[in-house]
Amino acid sequence: GQNIDQPTEMTATEGAIVQINCTYQTSGFNGLFWYQQHAGEAPTFLSYNVLDGLEEKGRFSSFLSRSKGYSYLLLKELQMKDSASYLCALMDSNYQLIWGAGTKLIIKP
Amino acid sequence: GAVVSQHPSWVICKSGTSVKIECRSLDFQATTMFWYRQFPKQSLMLMATSNEGSKATYEQGVEKDKFLINHASLTLSTLTVTSAHPEDSSFYICSARDLGAGEVETQYFGPGTRLLVL
């Protein structure tokens, strides 16, 4: 089966850097996604990793290590609008997304 | 980027009535759409996978006769909650898979439909 773990909640300061970790176990793997979800809204796509390494996209970067079953989302120069839940999702061998429970990120001034 | 719309965004209905939610991919064709339900402070729960021109695949524990899914075209899928009850009150979100050339199989989400059954 599959399993995804990510912290329930994190707090960071405006302007700082935060790293949200995601670990997973799976028998089939077709990539790992990160989505952002503001309260009361649907998720929006942030990043996709299928090969090991770091993918940078502006203030957001995502890292993957397939051998370790590990990914992280790195957010730099935090802004208040970054307060949201961040969902880690694994794409399995059937191309279905398996969702983590999400990490609620609270940004303080 | 790919845009997915959902209608209605809000619906309040009486117990026992049926509610239809539409999901449309606006600028791409989606052979596969997904229906999710999300309760407050919980993660997304996949209800069913909707394939154009064929029957939907329901996740374990989801009643197919209660949650009717129709995917009649490459840009439209509908979810009908039949005989809705208060426990069906939730945030329903659809997503569509964009398989455009060179694209990662990303799912793009509609804005969601908040259902309140009185």
Backbone torsion region of residue A7, taken as left when φ is above 0, otherwise alpha when ψ lies between -120 and 50, otherwise beta: beta
Tens of pLDDT, residues B42-74 = 888 999 998 888 889 999 999 999 999 998 888
Residues of B in contact with A43 (CB under 8 A): 44, 93, 109
Does the pLDDT of residue A24 top 80, yes or no?
yes
Calculate how close chain A gets to B74, using CA atoms only, in Å. Answer: 19
Query: If you measure CA to CA, which chain B residue comes closest to A9?
Result: B41
What's the CA gap between A39 and A10, in Å, rounded? 15
**Would you call B8 helix, strand, or coil by DSSP?**
coil
Q: Which two tokens stand for residue B15?
A: 């117990």
Query: CB A42 to CB B104 under 8 A?
Result: no
DSSP code of A17?
-
Backbone torsion region of residue B20, taken as left when φ is above 0, otherwise alpha when ψ lies between -120 and 50, otherwise beta: beta
Q: Which two tokens stand for residue B50?
A: 């909707």
Taking CA atoms, B56 is separated from A30, B33, B62, in Å, by 22, 9, 12
Residues of B in contact with A40 (CB under 8 A): 91, 114
Tens of pLDDT, residues B5-35 = 999 999 999 999 999 999 999 988 888 899 9
Query: CB B43 to CB A48 under 8 A?
Result: no
Q: Which residues contact B29 (CB under 8 A, 6 or more apart)?
A: B74, B75
Query: CB A87 to CB B44 under 8 A?
Result: yes
